[in-house]
Chains A and B, each alone.
Chain A
């Protein structure tokens, strides 16, 4: 099962080469406070509203409580509930957010298992500005179609 990207509409103000993503929201799911802070600030710099969760269960609970996010950055290795389990649960719940796996460099087999859980993309951590730009372009493209 794979996700189809963002749900809610977004307002994009295009200024030169910059795309300001004022109405896009993101959830950063990572057990490392350092990575949570890094991705939090990085996404906020692009204008997204960001929340963080320290493991997959916290992320799933947020969705159960009715939260929704256009983008979920999902770490793979986490205590309590890892990224693979959390992604499977979110997709089983019908979540259509763009879910992007973020992993340390592992063998291709491990990334594949993570992708098969329902990711849209999987990248090595930390995400670079180029990758974040790419993801936001994909999100905006998807939103503009809806």
Chain B
């Protein structure tokens, strides 16, 4: 596939992530922070998000598996996950965390378990999408092309 085609494919794929609500404008801001002095910034931030999230999801699974659930602890983990997902623009994960927190407040064990599943689902979906997007970018760079900037005006 020639570079122009790959670039168009990347643009279309990235736009779809915004249209489907996986990403919001915060992700565009991350891309705008990447430049020659920080060429891997987006990859670094996304990798940190993956590491953070997987640890938090493990912590949440364990916290909700206790005979006496400490909802304050659960809420603290969700709060962190909400913060990091919001920081990279992972909108659906962030929204799932918002709902999760309200059930933590109610100390509703059934609802929080459902929320955990929902957050996990959203996380794995966006992880998959971001990995695909970053792979497309790598292919373009390997072929000697540059990463096209996406503009929010579509």
Partners in one complex: yes
CB of A125 within 8 A of CB of B33, answer: no
CB of B83 within 8 A of CB of A104, answer: yes
Q: Shortest distance in angstroms between B101's beta carbon and chain A's nearest beta carbon?
A: 10
Per the bound structure, the CA–CA distance linking A128 and B25 in Å amounts to 10
| Chain B interface, DSSP helix/strand/loop, else mixed | helix
**Does A33 reach chain B (CB closer than 8 Å)?**
yes
**Contacts A104-B82, A104-B83; A38 near B49 (Cβ below 8 A):** no
CB of B52 within 8 A of CB of A126, answer: no
Query: A77 is contacted by which of B33, B52, B79 (Cβ under 8 Å)?
Result: B79
When each residue 8-47 of chain B gets 1 if its CB lies under 8 Å from chain A and 0 otherwise, what string results?
0000000000000000001001100101001001001100
| Chain A interface, DSSP helix/strand/loop, else mixed | helix
Per the bound structure, the CA–CA distance linking A104 and B30 in Å amounts to 18
Can you show 24 pairs from A to B with CB atoms below 8 A apart?
A: A32-B52, A32-B83, A32-B84, A33-B48, A33-B52, A34-B49, A34-B87, A34-B88, A35-B83, A37-B44, A37-B45, A38-B30, A38-B33, A38-B45, A41-B33, A41-B41, A45-B33, A45-B35, A104-B82, A104-B86, A125-B83, A125-B86, A125-B87, A126-B87
Complex A-B, nearest 4 residue pairs according to Cβ-Cβ distance, in ascending order: A34-B48, A126-B87, A104-B83, A34-B84
14 extra A-B contacts, CB within 8 A, seeds A37-B44, A45-B35: A32-B83, A32-B84, A32-B87, A34-B45, A34-B52, A35-B83, A35-B87, A41-B33, A42-B33, A45-B33, A77-B76, A125-B87, A126-B86, A129-B29
